[in-house]
Amino acid sequence: MVIEYIRYKVEPSQRESLLAAYAQAAAQLDASPYCLAYELTECEEEAGQFMLRIEWTVVVK
């Protein structure tokens, strides 16, 4: 299993755009046979800081 972490820093005005884009990307992750799980979290202490964690079965190139 491979764990991928992606950090996002967006302006507070871009928060809703990021969440909308993530909703679209989530559909692709759900459809992938290689994706086991994923989670997008938002930092409570710093507005606009997000962390995406994805669990993959293998590294796909």
CATH (domain of 14): 3.30.70.100
Three-state secondary structure call for residue 4: strand
Tokens 């909308």 belong to residue: 20
Tokens 């459809």 belong to residue: 31
Q: Which pLDDT score, from 0 to 100, does residue 12 have?
A: 87
Q: How distant, in Å, are the alpha carbons of 2, 40, 41, 44, 50 from that of 25?
A: 19, 11, 15, 23, 15
Domain of 50, in residue numbers: 2-56
- pTM to 2 decimal places: 0.84
61 belongs to a structural domain: no
20 belongs to a structural domain: yes
Q: Which pLDDT score, from 0 to 100, does residue 27 have?
A: 95
Domain count along the chain = 1
* Per-residue pLDDT tens over the stretch 18-43: 999 999 999 999 999 999 999 999 99
Bridge partners of residue 3, in order along the sequence: 55
Q: Which pLDDT score, from 0 to 100, does residue 43 have?
A: 94
Q: Which pLDDT score, from 0 to 100, does residue 46 have?
A: 87
